[in-house]
Each structure stands twice: as C-alpha cells, then as structure tokens.
Structure 1
Amino acid sequence: MIFIVFFSLNMFIWGQKSSGAVPFGTFFALLVPLVYLGAFFGYRRPKIEPPTKTNMIPRTVPEHAWYTQPVFSVLIGGLLPFGAVFIELFFILSSIWLHQYYYVFGFLLLVFLILIITCAEISIVMCYFQLCAEDYHWWWRAFLTSGSSGLYLFIYSIVYMSTKMVMTRGVSILLYVGYMLIASYSFFMLTGAVGFLACFLFVHAIYGAVKVE
C-alpha cells in the first residue's frame, strides 16, 4: 500500500520535472529484496500452537449492547493512544513541514514509551470486555482497537494543514496528503501491532492457566 501511494506521488513529481523524483531502479532495488526476505523469514516461523485444546465447532456469539459493537469499541480505543502523543505531534509536524528546529528528543522517547504502554493497556482492556461478553473474535479487533489512532492522526494532519499551512498549488496539497497518509498508515501498523501482540500474550497467559482434564 505504501509503495502504491509513494509511486503515485512520485509520478506527480516527475510530471513537475523535479529533481526530487525517485528513479524506477531504486524502487525495485528496495522493494523486491525486502518482499522476498520478509516472505523467507515469515514462512520459516513455526506454527503458533494454542495453550489449551479448542473446540473445532465454532460457538454462537450472543448479541451485544451497542457500546460493545466493533465499530464503537475500535473508534473509542484509538482515542487514548492518539491523546498520548497529541501535543508532541504539533511540534513534529512543525519541524517537518514548517522547517522549525526540534530539540527535545529525550521527551520524544518518553512519549513513544507512553504510546506503547497505552496501546497495550487499552487493547487488553477492550479484549477482556470482549471475552467477558463471550465474543472470541478478538484477533482483528485487538489490532484495530489501538491501530485506529492512525485515523485520528490523519484527521489531525488535515486540520493542521488547514489551520497552520498556506498551500495554493494542487500538487503541493496532494504531496502533503499523500505523505501524511503514508505516515498515518505506518502509525496505524505500529500501534495495531503493539495492541495485537499485547492481547495475544494476554490471552495466551490467561488460557494457559486453565487446566483442562
């Protein structure tokens, strides 16, 4: 997905005859080895075994209240991770797009650690409520619960562009939106992975303690 967006933006840069365009050879020199390298290590990973025996016949999930529906819980779950980095995002965007200096890298590391902890905690809490409601479809919801903070990041970037930046050319606006889409998607993947791994370890631990005779 990142390759498609970046390649499309690069086409517009080529159309403007800018020296910042990335050559075709660089694209494929990076893409092809990384894809095959990731597939090589991914398929060599051992199969994950559940900590306890599971029933092969899926059980019916009971009806839930409106506040436990997937869409509502996912959107609410992304607010806390985004709120943890909300203030710092302003300075990061200003340093990237308004050419301002950024000095507080130690504080940025602290905010990053708070983000990781917040993603893990909110995902585990929402996963626990979901399991208490006898809904065992937690895999993707655990990923999307904390990963939805990437959606709020993209919305905030659009608000930042509208209030803090002056852009008149359509290509400039397109490049800003495209690059922030890549950044938001990367943020979505990072926070979603943290939330899923935290829930996976949580579920593995609680069900691993169950003694089935």
Structure 2
Amino acid sequence: MFVIMTMVVGTSSMALTYFQLNAEDYNWWWRSIFTGGALSVFIFLYGIFFYLYRSEMWGILQTTQFFSYLLLLCYMFFLVMGTVSFFASHCFVRFIYSNVKTD
C-alpha cells in the first residue's frame, strides 16, 4: 500500500511540476513539497470524522491525546510524502533539463 501511494505521489508531483514549468514558473521547490504533503490534510479530516462518528471516546484527556497523536501522525506523513514528492520532482527536472536540445 505504501509503495503504491509513493508511486502515485511521485507521479502526480512530476505532472504538476511539468505543468508549472510549462507555464514558465521555475519556482517549483516548495510547491512540490506541498503537493505531496497535501495528503496529510485529508488524513487529518478523516481523523476528525473518525473521532466524531466512529469512536466512542469522550472526555478531555482522550480528546487531547487523540488529536495530539493525530497531529503528530499528519505532520510525519506530510514530511514523508513531501520528501518523496520533492525528490521525484527534482529527478524529473534534472532529467528534462539534461535532455533539452538547444540549437
């Protein structure tokens, strides 16, 4: 599952980086990180849904602990997928610029 998700994040990051470079916007670094890391927002939203509708947790201690761990998990996921996305975009940009034919 992780391998498939990594491949999807890398491929989508390369495609979005290509569109950005095609629009002559060469500042692709941070956008590539945020492209891959955006999945952590969906994980956080699902965590809120899970807490409200699927779990039977209540109380301030359980709520604080759940959301603290959820924030740490989403931050870790943002860093991992952002790194994968950045390296995929970086390799893609190096590949396309090394194969450019200028006459």
Q: TM-score, normalised by structure 1?
A: 0.47
- CA radius of gyration, larger in: 1
Residue 128 (structure 1) aligned to one of 10, 13, 18 = 18
Give me the CA root mean square deviation. Answer: 1.3
Structure showing the higher helix proportion among its residues: 2
Provide the identity percentage: 35
Where relative contact order (Cα < 8 A, 6+ residues apart) is larger, the structure is 2
Shift of 1:211: 4.8
Letter of the structure 2 residue corresponding to residue 175 of structure 1? Q
Shift of 1:212: 5.7
Residue 149 (structure 1) aligned to one of 39, 52, 58 = 39
Which aligned pairs between 1:85-164 and structure 2 lie closer than 5 A?
111-164=1-54
Number of matched pairs: 103
Moved over 4 A (4+): none
- Separation of aligned partners in 1, 2:46 and 2:82: 18
Q: Deviations over 1:89-117 (max 9, x none)?
A: xxxxxxxxxxxxxxxxxxxxxx1111010
Shift of 1:167: 2.0
Q: Determine if the alignment matches structure 1 residue 180 to structure 2 residue 70.
A: yes
Q: Which runs of 5+ in 1 are unaligned?
A: 1-110
- Separation of aligned partners in 1, 2:58 and 2:7: 40
Q: TM-score, normalised by structure 2?
A: 0.94
Q: Which runs of 5+ in 2 are unaligned?
A: none
Residue 84 (structure 2) aligned to one of 173, 194, 200 = 194
- Separation of aligned partners in 2, 1:122 and 1:192: 12
